[in-house]
Amino acid sequence: MIRIAVGVLLGFVLGWVATSAAALAYGEVARVSQAEGAYAMGAVFLMGPAGGVIGAVIGGLIGARSRR
């Protein structure tokens, strides 16, 4: 049970960070306007949690499958 919880937590954090970083990197490559930081805020607070939820589901599944 604790492995599932750890998997969910790690998946959420890593998914959020990875998605936010990827969105910010894409914004730099595509030269998206950073007017007042709106794109960065959208990447971190809109796209980041979506990646976090997907990461949490994947982390929970991996945690449930790992057994000793």
Residues 5-51: tens digit of each pLDDT: 999 999 999 999 999 999 999 999 999 888 878 888 988 999 999 99
Contact indicator for 52, 12 with CB cutoff of 8 Å: yes
Q: For residue 49, which of 6, 64, 57 has the smallest C-alpha distance?
A: 57
67 pLDDT higher than 70 = no
Looking at residue 13, its pLDDT comes to 96
- pTM summary value: 0.84
Contact indicator for 57, 14 with CB cutoff of 8 Å: no
Give dist(CA 20, CA 35) in Å, integer: 18
Looking at residue 56, its pLDDT comes to 96
